[in-house]
A and B are shown apart, each in its own frame.
Chain A
Amino acid sequence: MRRFLSGNHAAAYGARLARPQVIAAYPITPQSPIYEKLSEWDSEGVLGARMMRVESEHSAMAACISASLTGVRTFTATASQGLALMHELLHFASGMRVPIVLVNVNRALAAPWSFWSEQTDSLSQRDTGWLQFYVSDNQEVLDTVIQAYKISETVFLPTMVVLEAFYTSHFMEPVEVPEQELVDDFLSSFQPTFKLDTEKPAAFSQTVTQSEYGKFRVHRQMAMEYAQEVVQAVDKEFEERFGRGHGLLECYRQEDAEIVLVTAGTFGCTAKVAIDELREKGKKVGMVRIRLFRPFPKLRLIESLKHARKIAVIDRNLSPGQEGIFCEELKSALYSRVNGIPVFGFVMGLGGSNVSPAHIKRVFGITERMQDAPLKPILDLEDGNGIGLS
């Protein structure tokens, strides 16, 4: 059924269709409408999950971990400071191999205080062992939440689906909401190997020896590598059943492009408009949008970028003392196989300021003019008015 939904409500629909049994969350702007919508359904008696009121995001994650260990499907949603507060338990979740699905709405981290979009909250959880998807529209939000359960429950790693504050979370779009039976057929029930069971007492995540610890880390790395295959397989199956897929990457007119823009999230949609306009003027430009960030789809990126002459990465985040995080990650991926393609790193729209097709075209213009890529990121701070070159 086609509905006119915000990204937050698309996430809530996705979660509801996956039939989680425990939902523990704590409200925070701009994620609160997800929690509110689920609560609404709960009060109407149509949710079918146990809603847990908790005192913090830390507790929300602790509750999801424990619930998941008993073998039930769990869901939570948060943003920004809430995700930062969860940080400690994000490591626990992946280390304990529980397939929790979390929706994070990218919101700028304090200080200074801000409510709008910036990706550092989720990107700084990069090393917690969670799968991460950066989505660009509301249909993708709903589809990815459903897919995430299947992926997570196959690889036994938790998944974070990342939206952008107000751009994805609050903009409304037509969204195809699949029938419950279709989703039920797609998602089989969750069957963990070990369960918390009072009949069979066991200690989980107890202390291990020095030599054992390494094995656990290695296994998580192997699970991540395996996850890349699983993401593809699940997406393929999803496409067969629901008629749409999203892939690891979204490639747009990049096959013959000399300059390829690389980005993530909503910038992908904007970039497509700019690319169409530039193409009309004969500019050979294309785009690759990174949908799956962890595990990082290195090979697929190399494949899709190896013929480019120049690459321009646009980040809505900035790692202080380094550069945009997608840019950095991309460079590390390329360096192993492809040499000599200059990678220009642009940082734009921090704190949620709008990045329009005009801004994207200026990024293209700068990349086209400059021969060598600067070591430092190219910062655009004032609503795209005037790109400050450092």
Chain B
Amino acid sequence: MAKPQRPVLNMKDPFVAVSFYDSLIFKTGSQRTERPFFINKVASCGHACPIGIDIPTAFYMASKGDIDQALTIFLQENPLPGICGRVCYQACEMECNRGNFDEAINIRSFERFISDHGQVDIRKNVPIHSRKGKFAVIGSGPAGLSAAYHLARLGYYVTLFEAKPELGGMLRYGIPPYRLSRFILDREIERILSLGIRTHVETTMGRDFGWKDLESFDAIFISIGLQSGKVLFEGENAEGFILTGLDFLADPQKFSLEDEAPKTLIIGGGNVAIDAARTLLRLRQGRGDNLIVLCPESRDQMPALAEEVKEALEEGITIVNGRAPHKLHTKNGKLLSLDFRRAKVKIDEESGTVKIIPLGKVIQKLKADRIIVAIGQTLQSHNLPDGIEIRQGRIVADRFGRTSIPRIFAGGDVIGGKAFVADAIASGKMGALAISCFIEGRDIETQFQANQIGNGQSFSFQHFIGAPGENSVDLRKVVFFDQINTLFFSESPRNNPDKLEPGTRIKTFEEITSGLDVGRMEEEMSRCFECGICTDCENCLDFCPDISVLRDAKSGVYSFHHDYCKGCGICSVACARNVIEMVREK
């Protein structure tokens, strides 16, 4: 540009300060006392998830239309998204930052959606390494499947042993099909096995093979769960009239309870009791007259998921709370009635142990033809290896699943902890990490801490395996609600999936809950704050008063122009998702 003429000293032209040059000579960056930097973080949902899934990145990918990539992100941590998308208790939603704004994101429906609609060839999309090491996984429930999956991804040879005819453990033999479609279960197991895992079904440890037979394996992961239903009335002779909830759920047709005539009492307040009641209701084509659930807990204390209890009540199931069984009356090996008393339950907050306290001396009587006992499960300890430490009916293991025997690891219900699918999957994932460290001679504590999410119990397998991320992530930093700039969001209601009407669903084993359709899922995806990840929203770029947020046109990577950034921090406030932080200049 030609140099403009300076206005001469006359009264016709005002003498004004105008510059046609840029002001790049003023390196305003020298005024800076703090500098901004980009750092992706973990969202509160992913932090709460026992499996440690990078939920916001998956939402971001899906919202851009890449459902496959979203599913891949889930599969980095969780081999069973289709199952968790149906039956998970959703710790993530309880901690969802949006819950403090209007309503939590429907993450469960999202997980279901991407697993139902995403197409991922796991062998291509989840990094698989090739390593030496041969492991046995005993039991194919969620913990065993998870351990086998992650070990296979790390490149080890895995053999999976299952006592039952089909794989899946409690997923198949415990969760009724109206909550979890068997088609989905088969599909997810097939995907896991596609990693090259060998399987042996109908092979029971201690019967079909001994521990000595497993000596050729470098390590063993025990995830056999708790297979025996607890017995309530020891020594009572009522063969065939008293059964456990687990036995009933494993093969509901076997016990000829379909006829509504046998008056059936179900004892217990947990998920198995509710599942048994709802399964029986369906077997009886929705007639619930001779069906009562009895438990000592109050309605609020019931360990079953609140959603399950609510649905059971909707379906017309009678749940009698605050009653404890007292005595059975039998005659000639036939059940006559059950005596019970008023009771209350005291739960020790610290240990979690439950104490049933009878109230008063009045004894009530209920006629009963059958009783299903669902008061918890125990370990079948006779099949365990010699010398393994067992305490309070569980294999003793540290938080990484290491047992008292060096090459034997354990996870899932068999080592205690929460009896939920997600926790079992997390336990199997942890076992895979521990076994890998064991065989490679690496320190598990160091490896866990290097990949730990926040200060929680979960870690990032994606990070551990070295799957490349788009941006650098600080896994230890968790974005909570007060770090979200909610000015950039407006209230919108949560999208909930449709459910079959109670009157319809009690006559069928079809899934009660349907997935969200594409339109409503898109709406739900647009609600996600995407906490802690850069979504290219460019608020920083728009708000920077010094035009010092730069975007590389080719790579799309953002950076700061430190020659001119004055360190005002507006970008870090304008970042709705807390991806920009300020650090003091040295």
Contact = CB atoms under 8 A, between A and B. Distances in A.
Interface stretch (A74-82, A216-224, A289-297): A216-224
B511 to A, nearest CB: 56
Interface in A276-324: none
A193 B19 contact: no
A206 B19 CA distance: 7
B294 to A, nearest CB: 68
Interface stretch (B9-17, B111-119, B274-282): B9-17
A155 interface: yes
Nearest to B15: A219
A306 B17 CA distance: 42
B271 to A, nearest CB: 59
Contact of A97 (B15, B19, B21): B15
Interface stretch (A35-43, A182-190, A195-203, A376-384): A195-203
B23 interface: yes
Nearest to B11: A226
Given A202-B19, A203-B23, A97 B14 contact: yes
Contacts of B209: none
B18 A223 contact: no
Contact of A204 (B11, B13, B16): B16
Nearest to A222: B11
Nearest to A206: B19
A139 to B, nearest CB: 30
Contacts of B7: 193
Nearest to B17: A205
Contact of B20 (A96, A155, A202, A222): A202
Contacts of B18: 194, 202-204
B17 A208 contact: yes
A206 B23 contact: yes
B16 A96 contact: yes
A155 B19 contact: no
Contacts of B14: 97, 156, 192-193, 219, 223
A195 to B, nearest CB: 10
Interface in B14-44: 14-21, 23, 26
A301 B332 CA distance: 132
A2 interface: no
A215 B17 CA distance: 11
Nearest to A207: B26
A230 to B, nearest CB: 9
Contacts of A155: 11
- Residue with the highest number of chain B CB atoms closer than 10 Å, among A96, A192, A193, A222: A193
A200 B20 contact: yes
A216 B17 contact: yes
A206 B17 contact: yes
B20 A193 contact: no
Nearest to A96: B16
Given A203-B23, A206-B23, A223 B17 contact: no
Interface in A91-113: 95-97
Contacts of B9: 219, 222
B16 A194 contact: yes
Nearest to A157: B14
Contact of B15 (A192, A202, A216): A216
B506 to A, nearest CB: 62
Contacts of B26: 207
Interface in A158-176: none
B20 A204 contact: no
Nearest to B7: A193
Nearest to B13: A193
Interface in B304-347: none
B538 to A, nearest CB: 21
Contact of B19 (A96, A156, A203, A222): A203
Nearest to A194: B18
Contacts of A194: 16, 18
A201 B17 contact: no
A167 B282 CA distance: 91
Given A203-B23, A206-B23, A223 B11 contact: yes
A204 B15 CA distance: 12
A327 to B, nearest CB: 31
A153 to B, nearest CB: 10
B15 A215 contact: yes
Contacts of A203: 18-19, 21, 23
B15 to A, nearest CB: 4
A193 B16 contact: yes
A376 to B, nearest CB: 41
Nearest to A219: B15
B20 to A, nearest CB: 5
A158 B13 CA distance: 15
Contacts of B13: 193
Best-buried of B9, B19, B21 by chain A (most CB within 10 Å) = B19
Nearest to A195: B18
A280 to B, nearest CB: 47
A203 to B, nearest CB: 4
A19 B404 CA distance: 93
A200 B1 CA distance: 10
A193 B14 CA distance: 7
Interface in B353-378: none
B95 to A, nearest CB: 40
B18 to A, nearest CB: 5
A204 B19 CA distance: 6
Nearest to A218: B15
Contacts of A201: 20
A226 to B, nearest CB: 5
Contacts of A206: 17, 19, 23
Contacts of B11: 155, 222-223, 226
A212 B13 CA distance: 17
B147 to A, nearest CB: 63
Interface string A16-32: 00000000000000000
A92 to B, nearest CB: 11
A219 B13 CA distance: 10
B6 to A, nearest CB: 11
A202 B15 CA distance: 15
**Residue with the highest number of chain B CB atoms closer than 10 Å, among A194, A201, A202:** A194
Contacts of A223: 11, 14
Contacts of B17: 95-96, 204-206, 208, 212, 216
Nearest to A205: B17
A211 to B, nearest CB: 13
A331 B15 CA distance: 32
A223 to B, nearest CB: 7
A149 to B, nearest CB: 16
B27 to A, nearest CB: 13
A111 B428 CA distance: 75
Contacts of A96: 16-17
Contacts of A95: 17
A383 B23 CA distance: 59
Contacts of B20: 200-202
Interface in A123-164: 155-156
A207 to B, nearest CB: 8
B356 to A, nearest CB: 67
A210 to B, nearest CB: 14
16 contacts: A156-B14, A192-B14, A193-B14, A193-B16, A202-B20, A203-B19, A204-B16, A204-B17, A205-B16, A206-B19, A207-B26, A216-B17, A219-B9, A219-B14, A223-B11, A226-B11
The 5 tightest CB contacts between A and B, nearest first, are: A156-B14, A97-B14, A219-B15, A203-B19, A226-B11
Interface of B: 7, 9, 11, 13-21, 23, 26
Interface of A: 95-97, 155-156, 192-194, 200-208, 212, 215-216, 219, 222-223, 226
Given A204-B16, A216-B17, 19 more contacts: A95-B17, A96-B16, A96-B17, A97-B14, A97-B15, A97-B16, A155-B11, A156-B14, A156-B16, A192-B14, A193-B14, A194-B16, A200-B20, A201-B20, A202-B20, A205-B17, A212-B17, A222-B11, A223-B11
